[in-house]
């Protein structure tokens, strides 16, 4: 009886590991635009070399390599000081978020409870750290923006927290009347 349980447990563990490895492989390929096609809804496409010319090293790391900036860093401090305006993708300029939906979740990264233009933001499952998270991606260029979390009790209208890398955003202040 015990050997059968061990065999079943080992088989389940192997299946889970293969599934996770497959998801990570697919996710990582989608961020390297030279090796795989961009998502079907992507409109802005550049080679890896072109992205490196367009973006700063930090922006490239965040947007093209699915990197994460340091918590409570300079981008977060700037975000807290920014007034009314909109937040656009630093890679392609797509409108992503608005100051009307921003809030301070005290997590160390810019937070929004909803996108300003839902069509410009897509999400997908992310297993890169071994568990399931929901990655947030620019629908226009495929750039990694951060992750969205639900049900954390922030008492926002959507009960969501779009935890976004500030280095992947470009703030455009509202024009004064």
How far, CA to CA in Å, does 38 sit from each of 41, 42, 43, 141, 143?
8, 6, 9, 8, 10
Q: What distance in Å separates the CA atoms of residue 103 and residue 26, rounded to the nearest whole number?
A: 32
- The catalytic residue among 92, 138, 141, 163 is 163
Catalytic: 163?
yes
Q: How far apart are CA 7 and CA 151, in angstroms?
A: 37
Pairwise CA distance, residues 47 & 150, whole Å: 34
User: Do 43 and 141 meet the contact criterion of CB atoms below 8 Å apart?
Assistant: yes
Residue 78 exposure: Cα atoms within 13 Å on the Cβ side: 13
Which residues are bridge partners to 89 per DSSP? 169
Distance CA 97, CA 162 (A): 10
Active site residues: 163
């Amino acid at each position: 009886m015990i050997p059968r349980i061990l065999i079943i447990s080992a088989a389940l563990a192997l299946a889970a590991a293969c599934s996770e490895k497959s998801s990570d492989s697919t996710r990582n390929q989608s961020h390297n635009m030279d090796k795989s096609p961009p998502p079907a809804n992507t409109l802005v496409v550049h080679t890896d070399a072109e992205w490196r010319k367009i973006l700063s090293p930090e922006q490239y790391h965040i947007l093209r390599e699915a990197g994460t900036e340091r918590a409570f860093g300079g981008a977060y401090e700037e975000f807290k000081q920014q007034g009314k305006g909109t937040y656009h993708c630093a890679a392609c300029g797509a409108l992503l978020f608005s100051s009307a939906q921003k809030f301070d979740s005290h997590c160390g990264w810019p937070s929004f409870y909803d996108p300003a233009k839902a069509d410009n933001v897509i999400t997908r499952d992310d297993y890169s750290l071994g568990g399931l998270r929901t990655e947030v991606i620019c629908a226009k260029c495929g750039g990694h923006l951060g992750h969205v979390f639900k049900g954390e009790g922030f008492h926002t209208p959507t009960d969501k927290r779009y935890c976004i890398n500030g280095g992947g955003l470009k703030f455009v202040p509202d024009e004064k009347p």
